[in-house]
Amino acid sequence: MPVTTPIKMTPEEWRAEAISRFGPNKMKWRFVCPSCSHVASAEDWKEAGAPEGSVGFSCVGRYQPEGPGDEALAAAAFKGKGGPCNYSGGGLFGLNPVHVDLEDGKSVHMFAFAEATVQPLHTPGKPTETGV
């Protein structure tokens, strides 16, 4: 998996980033597991019956009752592909790359956001139609 430098954000910046990528509906916010690269939306965590605090924090594979099974989950972890896996942001390996600094001095370590499915309007510099 790629080595990433933690990205530091305030909660406001984090929310703004999420909204600019996915819109205001939190259920549509999508995250990339830093262990297996599986992309899941908050909806996926909810459907799996995961606690709210696990969204964007622990891989959704931990919570899917009809998932691929414990062995497959463990095998997918730390491979950077496939998944979901059983990675937990609270475990021994702190891979979560986005550090959201809270006002009380604590820092919550989150998964990175997935690429937006809809391009935000304010991304200049990306060629769209290259004049045929």
Query: What is the contact surface with Zn ion in residues (CB under 5 A)?
Result: 33, 35-36, 38, 59, 83-85, 87
Distance CA 48, CA 56 (A): 13
Judged by beta carbon, residue 33 or residue 48, the one nearer Zn ion is: 33
Give the shortest CB-123-to-Zn ion separation in angstroms: 28
Give the shortest CB-76-to-Zn ion separation in angstroms: 6
Report the relative pairing of strands 107-110 and 30-32 from DSSP bridges. unpaired
Give the shortest CB-88-to-Zn ion separation in angstroms: 9
Closest CA to 50 of 95, 100, 115, 111: 111
Judged by beta carbon, residue 9 or residue 36, the one nearer Zn ion is: 36
Distance CA 34, CA 112 (A): 8
Dihedral sign computed on CA atoms, order 108, 114, 120, 122: positive
Query: What would you report as the CA-atom Rg of the chain, rounded to the nearest whole angstrom?
Result: 16
Structure tokens at 1: 């998996």
Judged by beta carbon, residue 22 or residue 56, the one nearer Zn ion is: 56
Judged by beta carbon, residue 35 or residue 41, the one nearer Zn ion is: 35
Reported residue count of the chain is 132
Judged by beta carbon, residue 22 or residue 44, the one nearer Zn ion is: 44
